[in-house]
């Protein structure tokens, strides 16, 4: 008797799982234009896109790849440098960083310390970072806070605030 009760339960669970997963796959294929969480196919896809955007942002700066760094920023992006200088817009940010990308002598290291993500809408990521130019005896320890928005199916940095640490 127990055997006959177990089988309907297992079949019922399997059917329930199919009902839960099939509609979400169908929705992902049709609703992408209106639901930001589904633009990339799923919330998981959006999370992967964020991971890639974060990696490209930090690595392109480290590797002096100005084109990739710029592409990851919204045109309206604001950068607050450790000196307090504010670059308003990606053009101003790139102009302020021109020597970094041209001289290629800095060492950029970072560790992510905090992250807050609001679905496929926005994210704030905080890094403990070091910007050093050993050949010039320049060593800077800072907290870097980058704010991201998800727009038109991709993550873009909109604010980069750099706080100097002693």
Q: Residue 154 gets which letter from DSSP?
A: E
Task: Name the nearest CA neighbour of 158 among 32, 45, 53.
Answer: 53
Record the pTM: 0.74
Paired sense of beta strands 107-118 and 86-88, if any:
unpaired
Residue for token digits 């991201």? Answer: 148
**For the range 140-146, what are the long-range contacts, defined as Cβ-Cβ under 8 Å and sequence gap of 24 or more?**
140/82, 140/164, 141/165, 141/166, 142/82, 144/110, 146/54, 146/57
Low-confidence spans in the chain with pLDDT less than 70: 1-42
């Amino acid at each position: 008797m127990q055997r006959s009760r177990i089988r309907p339960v297992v079949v019922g669970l399997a059917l329930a799982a199919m009902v839960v997963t099939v509609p979400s796959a169908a929705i992902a294929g049709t609703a992408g234009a209106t639901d930001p969480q589904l633009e990339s196919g799923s919330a998981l896809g959006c999370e992967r896109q964020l991971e890639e955007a974060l990696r490209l942002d930090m690595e392109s700066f480290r590797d002096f790849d100005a084109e990739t760094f710029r592409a990851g920023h919204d045109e309206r992006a604001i950068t607050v440098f450790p000196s307090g200088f504010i670059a308003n817009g990606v053009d101003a940010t790139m102009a302020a960083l021109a020597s970094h990308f041209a001289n290629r002598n800095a060492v950029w290291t970072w560790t992510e310390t905090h992250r807050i993500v609001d679905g496929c809408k926005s994210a704030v990521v905080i890094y403990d970072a070091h910007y050093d130019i050993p050949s010039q005896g320049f060593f800077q320890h800072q907290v870097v806070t980058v704010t991201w928005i998800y727009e038109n199916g991709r993550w873009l940095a909109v604010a980069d605030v750099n706080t100097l640490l002693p």
